[in-house]
Structure 1
Amino acid sequence: MSSPQTTTAAAQGSHHWVLTLELPGRSAMTQYGTYTPPAGTTRYDAFQAIRQHLTADHPEMARANTMFFALEPNQL
Protein backbone atom coordinates (compact mmCIF):
# COMPACT_ATOMS: atom_id res chain seq x y z
CA MET A 1 0.00 0.00 0.00
CA SER A 2 1.40 3.40 -0.91
CA SER A 3 1.43 6.36 1.44
CA PRO A 4 -1.01 9.20 0.76
CA GLN A 5 0.58 12.41 -0.46
CA THR A 6 0.45 15.21 2.05
CA THR A 7 0.60 18.98 1.93
CA THR A 8 0.88 21.33 4.85
CA ALA A 9 -2.28 22.25 6.73
CA ALA A 10 -1.69 25.93 5.92
CA ALA A 11 -1.77 25.12 2.20
CA GLN A 12 -4.97 23.13 2.64
CA GLY A 13 -7.09 25.50 4.69
CA SER A 14 -8.17 25.45 8.32
CA HIS A 15 -11.44 23.54 7.74
CA HIS A 16 -12.56 20.58 5.62
CA TRP A 17 -16.05 20.61 4.12
CA VAL A 18 -18.39 18.24 2.29
CA LEU A 19 -21.56 19.45 0.55
CA THR A 20 -24.20 17.39 -1.26
CA LEU A 21 -26.80 19.13 -3.42
CA GLU A 22 -29.75 17.44 -5.11
CA LEU A 23 -32.31 18.35 -7.71
CA PRO A 24 -34.93 15.72 -6.83
CA GLY A 25 -35.48 13.23 -9.60
CA ARG A 26 -32.89 14.88 -11.83
CA SER A 27 -29.36 15.00 -10.43
CA ALA A 28 -27.19 15.18 -7.34
CA MET A 29 -23.59 16.09 -6.65
CA THR A 30 -21.22 15.88 -3.74
CA GLN A 31 -18.16 18.10 -3.57
CA TYR A 32 -15.50 18.54 -0.90
CA GLY A 33 -12.53 20.74 -0.16
CA THR A 34 -10.84 22.94 2.38
CA TYR A 35 -11.61 26.49 3.42
CA THR A 36 -10.08 29.10 5.71
CA PRO A 37 -12.85 31.45 6.81
CA PRO A 38 -12.12 35.07 7.67
CA ALA A 39 -12.11 36.00 11.35
CA GLY A 40 -15.62 36.30 12.76
CA THR A 41 -17.20 34.03 10.14
CA THR A 42 -20.16 32.00 11.36
CA ARG A 43 -20.95 28.46 10.26
CA TYR A 44 -23.85 29.88 8.23
CA ASP A 45 -21.53 32.38 6.52
CA ALA A 46 -19.14 29.55 5.62
CA PHE A 47 -22.01 27.43 4.29
CA GLN A 48 -23.24 30.30 2.10
CA ALA A 49 -19.74 31.04 0.77
CA ILE A 50 -19.08 27.38 -0.07
CA ARG A 51 -22.49 26.88 -1.66
CA GLN A 52 -22.09 30.04 -3.75
CA HIS A 53 -18.65 28.86 -4.87
CA LEU A 54 -20.08 25.51 -6.00
CA THR A 55 -23.11 26.96 -7.77
CA ALA A 56 -20.92 29.48 -9.59
CA ASP A 57 -19.18 26.49 -11.20
CA HIS A 58 -22.46 24.51 -11.55
CA PRO A 59 -25.25 27.08 -12.10
CA GLU A 60 -27.78 24.32 -12.76
CA MET A 61 -27.52 23.46 -9.04
CA ALA A 62 -28.37 26.97 -7.80
CA ARG A 63 -31.91 25.91 -6.81
CA ALA A 64 -30.89 22.45 -5.55
CA ASN A 65 -31.74 21.16 -2.09
CA THR A 66 -28.92 20.79 0.40
CA MET A 67 -28.89 17.13 1.41
CA PHE A 68 -25.71 17.17 3.49
CA PHE A 69 -23.23 19.75 4.78
CA ALA A 70 -20.26 19.15 7.07
CA LEU A 71 -17.61 21.63 8.15
CA GLU A 72 -14.93 20.45 10.54
CA PRO A 73 -11.49 21.64 11.65
CA ASN A 74 -8.93 20.23 9.24
CA GLN A 75 -6.81 18.37 11.74
CA LEU A 76 -6.65 14.92 13.32
Structure 2
Amino acid sequence: MPSTDTPSTVEPTHSWLITLQHPVPNGFTIATRTGSSTFPPGYPRQDAYTGIRDYLARREPLLAAADVLFFSLEPYRL
Protein backbone atom coordinates (compact mmCIF):
# COMPACT_ATOMS: atom_id res chain seq x y z
CA MET A 1 0.00 0.00 0.00
CA PRO A 2 1.20 3.52 -0.61
CA SER A 3 2.16 5.50 2.47
CA THR A 4 -0.32 5.96 5.30
CA ASP A 5 2.34 7.82 7.30
CA THR A 6 2.81 10.69 4.89
CA PRO A 7 6.05 12.58 5.65
CA SER A 8 5.47 16.23 6.50
CA THR A 9 7.37 17.31 3.38
CA VAL A 10 4.96 15.48 1.05
CA GLU A 11 1.37 16.64 0.79
CA PRO A 12 -0.99 13.66 1.05
CA THR A 13 -3.42 12.92 -1.75
CA HIS A 14 -6.27 11.70 0.49
CA SER A 15 -7.59 11.95 4.01
CA TRP A 16 -9.53 9.13 5.63
CA LEU A 17 -11.75 8.44 8.60
CA ILE A 18 -12.80 5.02 9.85
CA THR A 19 -15.04 4.02 12.75
CA LEU A 20 -14.70 0.49 14.09
CA GLN A 21 -16.60 -1.53 16.69
CA HIS A 22 -15.13 -4.44 18.59
CA PRO A 23 -16.27 -6.57 21.53
CA VAL A 24 -15.11 -6.05 25.10
CA PRO A 25 -16.10 -8.11 28.17
CA ASN A 26 -19.33 -6.18 28.88
CA GLY A 27 -20.42 -5.19 25.38
CA PHE A 28 -18.70 -3.24 22.63
CA THR A 29 -16.37 -0.32 22.24
CA ILE A 30 -16.17 2.03 19.28
CA ALA A 31 -12.95 3.54 17.96
CA THR A 32 -12.65 6.28 15.34
CA ARG A 33 -9.31 6.91 13.65
CA THR A 34 -8.29 9.48 11.07
CA GLY A 35 -5.26 9.91 8.89
CA SER A 36 -3.88 10.97 5.57
CA SER A 37 -2.28 8.90 2.84
CA THR A 38 -0.57 9.30 -0.49
CA PHE A 39 -1.94 7.19 -3.34
CA PRO A 40 -0.86 7.25 -6.99
CA PRO A 41 -3.43 8.26 -9.64
CA GLY A 42 -5.77 5.37 -10.46
CA TYR A 43 -5.06 3.47 -7.21
CA PRO A 44 -8.10 1.24 -6.45
CA ARG A 45 -10.32 2.39 -3.59
CA GLN A 46 -10.62 -1.20 -2.32
CA ASP A 47 -6.84 -1.47 -2.08
CA ALA A 48 -6.72 1.82 -0.17
CA TYR A 49 -9.37 0.54 2.27
CA THR A 50 -7.54 -2.77 2.76
CA GLY A 51 -4.24 -0.97 3.25
CA ILE A 52 -5.72 1.35 5.86
CA ARG A 53 -7.24 -1.61 7.73
CA ASP A 54 -3.89 -3.43 7.64
CA TYR A 55 -2.10 -0.29 8.84
CA LEU A 56 -4.47 0.05 11.81
CA ALA A 57 -4.19 -3.66 12.67
CA ARG A 58 -0.40 -3.35 12.84
CA ARG A 59 -0.61 -0.27 15.06
CA GLU A 60 -3.49 -1.51 17.22
CA PRO A 61 -3.88 -5.31 17.05
CA LEU A 62 -7.21 -5.18 18.91
CA LEU A 63 -8.72 -3.46 15.86
CA ALA A 64 -7.72 -6.24 13.45
CA ALA A 65 -10.99 -8.13 13.94
CA ALA A 66 -13.21 -5.08 14.49
CA ASP A 67 -16.32 -4.44 12.41
CA VAL A 68 -16.40 -1.31 10.27
CA LEU A 69 -19.25 1.06 11.05
CA PHE A 70 -18.13 3.90 8.81
CA PHE A 71 -15.38 4.57 6.27
CA SER A 72 -14.62 7.72 4.30
CA LEU A 73 -11.80 8.36 1.83
CA GLU A 74 -11.70 11.84 0.33
CA PRO A 75 -9.28 13.91 -1.74
CA TYR A 76 -6.99 15.85 0.58
CA ARG A 77 -7.61 19.23 -1.03
CA LEU A 78 -11.04 20.85 -1.20
Q: Unaligned regions of 5+ residues in structure 2, if any?
A: 1-8
Tell me the number of residue pairs that the alignment of Structure 1 and Structure 2 aligns.
68
Unaligned runs of 5+ in 1: 1-9
Larger radius of gyration: 1
Query: Which protein has the bigger strand share?
Result: 2
Q: Secondary structure at the match of 1:49?
A: helix
Aligned to 2:74: 72
Residue 64 of structure 2 aligns with an amino acid whose one-letter code is A
**Displaced runs of 4+ in structure 1, greater than 6 A?**
none
TM-score of the superposed pair, with normalisation by structure 1: 0.77
Cα displacement string for residues 27-67 of structure 1 (whole angstroms, at most 9, x for unaligned residues): 21111111111344211000000111011111111111000
Instruction: Identify the residue that residue 48 of structure 1 maps to in structure 2.
Output: 50
CA RMSD of aligned residues (A): 1.9
> How much does 1:11 deviate?
2.8
- Aligned to 1:53, what secondary structure does the other structure show? helix
The answer (yes or no) to whether the contact 1:13–1:36 under 8 Å persists in 2 is yes
User: TM-score with structure 2 length normalisation?
Assistant: 0.76
1:18 and 1:31 in contact (8 A); partners too: yes
Equivalent runs, 1:1-76 vs 2, <5 Å: 11-24=10-23, 25-76=27-78
